[in-house]
Chains A and B, each alone.
Chain A
Amino acid sequence: MLTTDVAVIGGGVAGLVAAIEASKFGARVHLIDENARAGGQLFKQIHKFFGSHRHYAGIRGFEIGEKLLEEAQKNGVQTLLNSFVFGIFGKEIGIIENQTGARWLDAKTIILCCGASEKMIVFPGWTLPGVMGAGAAQTLINVHHVSPGKKFLMVGSGNVGLVVSYQMLQAGAEVVAVVEALPRIGGWGVHASKIRRWGVPILTSHTVKEAHGKERVEAATIVALDENWKHVSNSERTLEADVICLAVGLKPNVELPLMAGCETMFLEELGGRVPIHDENMETTEEGIYVVGDCAGIEEACTAIESGRLAGVAVAEKLGYLSKDEAYELKVQIRKILDDLRGGPFGEHRVRAKQQLIERAKILKGLKDE
């Protein structure tokens, strides 16, 4: 059986950083990804990141992806691609490679970086071809240079809805409207302004009521909402559209953490059910860590730092770093995470993360007895 010090499952930004960090201190690392290439959602991010140099400000997402892949390779991270993890049994990981036959990887520690999936809302006609996740449309356009339509209706004005709308425009499509159920725009002003300047209406207190079409979406009816989220009568409008994109939030992918026996908590602020983890990102199962969006929906910079934190923690657990060396690094990273979660947008997430950590302390304390 294949053995390793650290198995990183999921090669998105958090997983790549965790793999790079752990390998930097000498650990043998295997990175497993079900896609033909690691990099996760980075390759569909074509906008420049902002923030600090440490977090690749001014660089476009796909370029960050290239950099991280290169660094992982340089550090000797073994990458298993087209490899689908079907189960975790203790520390044994079952993998199906290229859809044929199972193989096993026996790991001393596991870092789960399973990412997130898009939440969806249902309405008459939502199953018609042409209704899709905003992220799904973004992948088609930015990675494969294929547009699923000409006229888009975007449902949701969080950062995903706003950024993807702008990218539709860049790709030459029309965005007929962005509808937002809340009475205010959900995402950052900087993103909203970009599409407003292009003339795209952002309709707050509005949602999609129905998708029309026979074999695919041909039109969409939108409707105004009152303060109790009820449809306002006679406020319907039917817009010509061939794609309806749903950008109504993300939820952590917790299937593998659950299979591994990790305890979870429901925290709305972090997108739903989240694996309980301590200050080192370790779950209630010893030696199993969670990082990135599957440890709670945040954004790329916090994903990077949580990956780094888990990388240092496993290196310490495996004896590649002394307690003191690790402590110093971890304090630095936690400080950066606190800064990233600063400000009014981060408050709820800070509280939710603290709840997870408190719960982990209680559960782990009990387990030790």
Chain B
Amino acid sequence: MRIMRHPILPPINRKEVNITVDGKLVSAIEGEPIASALIAAGIMTFRKTRIRKEPRGYFCGIGLCTDCMMIVDGTSNVRTCITPVREGMRIETQVGLLREDAGC
């Protein structure tokens, strides 16, 4: 959820954009990481593991652990914790480790 009131942080006044997550419309703040937009919308599962299909999500937040990888505009294995959101982005839950672009 978004933090609307805070004793120290000045409010963020940035442009709202729309993205889709598995086909559903989600509103985001332009420039924030994809992961942040998803968590703000209450989405915690970003991908499922290849064999057991276990949920995985945001973990290290600095692009190192690769747990938060998703399919973004057709490209798989995108680290959503360090990839900024843009208007119209198409985000999809990833299953397993896809070596090539989505569809393979």
Contacts and interface: CB of A to CB of B under 8 A. Distances in A.
A101 to B, nearest CB: 15
Contacts of A23: none
Contact of B39 (A34, A128, A148): A148
Contact of B82 (A34, A128, A129, A142): A34
Interface stretch (B15-23, B49-57, B94-102): B49-57
Interface string B1-45: 111011111011000000000000000010111011001100011
Contacts, number: 91
A129 B40 contact: no
A146 B2 contact: yes
Interface residues of B, number: 36
A128 B55 contact: yes
A16 B9 CA distance: 23
Contact of A145 (B6, B44, B46): B6
A145 B2 CA distance: 6
A146 B38 CA distance: 10
Interface residues of A, number: 31
A147 B82 contact: no
Interface in A126-145: 127-133, 135-137, 139-142, 144-145
A216 interface: yes
Contacts of B62: 117, 135-136, 139
Contact of A148 (B29, B31, B56, B58): B58
B74 interface: no
A174 interface: no
Contacts of A133: 59-61
A176 to B, nearest CB: 18
Interface string A24-63: 0000000000111000000000100000000000001000
Contacts of A344: none
B96 to A, nearest CB: 15
A172 B3 contact: yes
Nearest to A255: B64
Contacts of B61: 132-133, 135-137, 139-140
Given A148-B39, A216-B55, 18 more contacts: A34-B63, A117-B60, A118-B60, A129-B44, A132-B61, A133-B59, A133-B61, A140-B39, A141-B3, A144-B32, A144-B36, A145-B2, A145-B9, A146-B2, A146-B36, A148-B58, A215-B55, A216-B45
7 contacts: A60-B8, A127-B67, A133-B61, A135-B61, A141-B3, A148-B58, A215-B45
Interface of A: 34-36, 46, 60, 117-118, 127-133, 135-137, 139-142, 144-148, 170-172, 215-216
- Those 6 A-B pairs whose CB atoms lie nearest each other, nearest first: A136-B61, A129-B57, A129-B44, A144-B36, A216-B44, A146-B40
